[in-house]
Amino acid sequence: MSGVLDHVMMRVEDLDESLEWYTTHLDYEEKGRWEADTFTNVFLGPEDAGEDDALLELTYNHDDRTYEMGDAWGHIAVRVPEDELQSSYDQLMEEGVEDYRDPESNDNRYAFVKDPDGHEIEIVKRDHGAKWSLDHTMIRVEDADDALGFWTRKFEYEHTSRWESDSFANYFMAPQDASEDAMTVELTYNYGGQTYDMGDAWGHLAVRTDDLDEEWETLMEREAEDYRDPESCDNRYAFTKDQDGHEIEIVTDD
């Protein structure tokens, strides 16, 4: 498989409100849509998103349900040019976006806002990629060694960087030879044996493959969890889970 992260899915309670938020504030455009009897999936990204750029999938269930955020999922991160962190944040504030964690409170290295449903969005400085493109998705893990082993063995990801502090460590994982514009997964390990609530406001990460059946067979040989196999998904995609229960979709890249 190519191994590139294709998209990250989050659930929203009001699709029109969420679409307006992302298209207005992050200049996203609709890249694709799938309408079913009980739900709608909409894929979003910057207008000039590249081939390896990940998309954001908004899932709206038609039964007006509400969601719990939990804390096993952390945030998505979007890119802005190195010298535009403050100006980009100021623009969002002028547009009425929630003031959550401004650049000054984060030593002018990054900032955070929230979307209408409370999903956290980090704004990071990057010298590559389209503005507002997805840089990484952060998930919290209960055992760093297990999490690093999962992504290394199951998906052949490599450890690209880390940031260690007194109370936590962040590990960034990406496919081998991935372009710098590809989204990475950030594994956050908080010291002290913390456990997390998965919630249901976040859905899954999706990994691309050029051969679904072959990739699924490889994952089974590597003892990945058999959560939803290709046959149960009409041979269009499949799902496994990581060691903590985060769902990972396997999708074809055509």
Residues catalogued as catalytic: 122
List Cα–Cα distances, 249 to 3, 30, 141, 215, 220, in angstroms. 11, 21, 18, 12, 14
List Cα–Cα distances, 172 to 35, 92, 160, 231, in angstroms. 34, 27, 6, 32
Per DSSP, 114 falls in state: E
Q: Give the pair of three-digit tokens for residue 142.
A: 């209960």
Closest CA to 101 of 116, 119, 113: 113
Residues 209-228 as b or e (16 or more Cβ within 10 Å = b): beebeebbebbeeeebbeeb
